Amino acid sequence: MTLPEAGAATEPAPVQAALKGCCPRCGQARVFAGWIKFIDRCPRCGLDISAFNVGDGPVVFLTLGIGALVTILAVSVELAFEPGILIHALLWLPLTTVLVIGGLRFTKGLLLALEYKNAAREGRLKE
Instruction: Reply yes or no on whether the pLDDT at 120 is more than 70.
Output: yes
Identify whether 102 is part of a domain. yes
Identify whether 1 is part of a domain. no
Are the C-beta atoms of 59 and 104 separated by less than 8 Å?
A: yes
Identify whether 81 is part of a domain. yes
Q: Looking at residues 77-99, what average pLDDT do you find?
A: 97
Identify whether 3 is part of a domain. no
Instruction: Reply yes or no on whether the pLDDT at 1 is more than 80.
Output: no
Number of domains observed in the structure of the chain:
1
DSSP 126: -
Identify whether 6 is part of a domain. no
Instruction: Reply yes or no on whether the pLDDT at 55 is more than 60.
Output: yes
d(CA 28, CA 17): 9
Identify whether 8 is part of a domain. no
Domain that holds residue 68: 14-117
